Amino acid sequence: MAPGLRRLAARPGDAPRLAPAWPCVQLDDTSPVGYAAQLASCACALAGVAEVAAPLNAAGRAFALDDSHAMGQPEAFIVPPVWLIVRPDGSLHLTLRPEWGQKIVAKGWGTVHPFARYMAGAVPPQSLVIYAPRDDGEMAVAARIIVAAHCYATGRIGEVALPDSRW
C-alpha cells in the first residue's frame, strides 16, 4: 500500500455528482478558489514532473513524467507520460494500482472514472476521479493521493520498485 493511503479515514458527506459527458467534471461540492492551484503545486514539487498541455481536450492542468521517471506500468498513465490532471473544480483525474484505488473508492474519496465504465477496455478500470477537496483537511488527503499516483507512475515507493514496473 502506498504510504499516504495506509491510514485513510472515510470522506464525510455524500459523493458529489459528476457530469456524464466528457470530461465528466464535478457538478457540485467543488473546491474553494485557489485549491486547484495548490494541488498543481503539490504535483510540480514531485520528482520528474512537468506541466504539459492537457490531453484529450480535458479541462485543467496536466502533469507528465520525464523519461527517466516514467517507469510505471502503462496503466499508471492517463495518456503516457501524463499521470495527473488537476481540474478547474479541484477534482483530480489520475490512476492508482487497483488495490489502492479500491481503498480510495471504499473510503469515499473518489470513484472509477465514468468513461472506464462506459468504455470498458478503452479506459483502464484504475482510472479514477478524486473528488475536489472542500477544506484544508481534505486538501491534505488529496495531496497524499497525488503522491500515491506519482508512486504508481514512477513504479516506485521510495527506493522499492513496484511489481511489473520497468525498473
Here the cell at position 53 is 498541455
Task: For 44-71, give one letter per residue: b (16+ CB within 10 A) or e.
Answer: eebebbeeeebeeebebbbbbbeeebbb
pLDDT surpassing 80 at residue 163: yes
- Region 102-122: mean pLDDT is 80
167 falls in which pLDDT band (50, 70, 90)? confident
Length of the chain equals 167
The span from the CA of 36 to the CA of 151, in Å, is 21
pLDDT surpassing 90 at residue 21: no
164 falls in which pLDDT band (50, 70, 90)? confident
pLDDT surpassing 70 at residue 118: no
Domain range list for the chain: 49-154
Write down the pLDDT at residue 101.
94
Q: Per-residue pLDDT tens for 32-78?
A: 999 999 999 999 999 999 999 999 888 899 999 999 999 999 999 99
